[in-house]
Structure 1
């Protein structure tokens, strides 16, 4: 069960206890609207992660423009060891679910604390470095949340 589902079930139980069933549906609709739907362009295509959209709410280590560009993460040991370390780091972060894993690839969903907005974060682990892409599903600006997330993971990976 995803963290969002657990939270939504707790919300339903709490709402029933306070005898305000009329609030349940609008809150659930609001929460599901904030999470959005995973884009269909995620994953590795022709050896690349998907390009960022024109909006500033995305960073990608394969991007050439300054607005979206970010440095790839360094390997920590072999590619396999780095992937295992990244997966462990992601599992230790709050409101993060690893939703896809394959050799050389991880995808995680990060949920914001208050409104449960979901960002998709991808890692393509190569022989020399880890390419990353972090993008908001909804909205236009992200106040550098995606960039700060990758820099936080960079720091944690190097510890």
Structure 2
């Protein structure tokens, strides 16, 4: 795929934090504080384990999605765009201290994503409430 790009080497959780967003506007993160990149974390009322299982099921139900890594408190998936095959890296970190799921969704290539990463997280948030 021409537009897949390379998987970033800064993915994962480091001291309770997901990687910061780059300066480009094609990334959202619940651990960012600037207006361009910030998005609310995912909340849940079930046990953390149930929340992560529900999250995995929702992510797997979305088109052109591949779960790459999963652990007891982390989920990483690649989302591929339909037309050009652009890849977005989407991470979820179960923050047991705050009792939320921190999120980060970022495009590998380009500058603007036309709001796709933000919309994806909001779609996941909506679907989690439906389950």
TM-score range, shorter chain: over 0.9
Partner of 2:108: 137
CA distance in 2, matches of 1:43, 1:61: 14
State the 1:56 CA deviation.
0.1
User: Greater share of helix residues, 1 or 2?
Assistant: 1
Question: Normalising by the residue count of structure 1, what TM-score does the alignment of the two structures yield?
Answer: 0.79
Question: Contact 1:76/1:158 (CA < 8 Å) preserved in 2?
Answer: no
CA distance in 1, matches of 2:48, 2:30: 17
d(CA) in 2 for partners of 1:72, 1:134: 12
Q: CA RMSD in A?
A: 0.7
How far apart are residue 76 of structure 1 and its match? 4.2
Q: Does residue 1:152 correspond to 2:123, yes or no?
A: yes
Quote the residue 2:31 is aligned against. Answer: 62
Q: Closer, same or farther in 2 for the Cα pair 1:45/1:132, shift >3 Å?
A: same
Counterpart secondary structure, 1:35: coil
**Residues 68/125 of structure 1: CA separation in 2 closer, same or farther (3 Å cut):** same
Q: Which runs of 4+ in 1 moved over 6 A?
A: none
Uncovered stretches (5+) of structure 2, i.e. residues with no partner = none
Unaligned runs of 5+ in 1: 1-31
**Residues 61 and 69 in structure 1, CA contact (< 8 A), matched pair in contact too:** yes
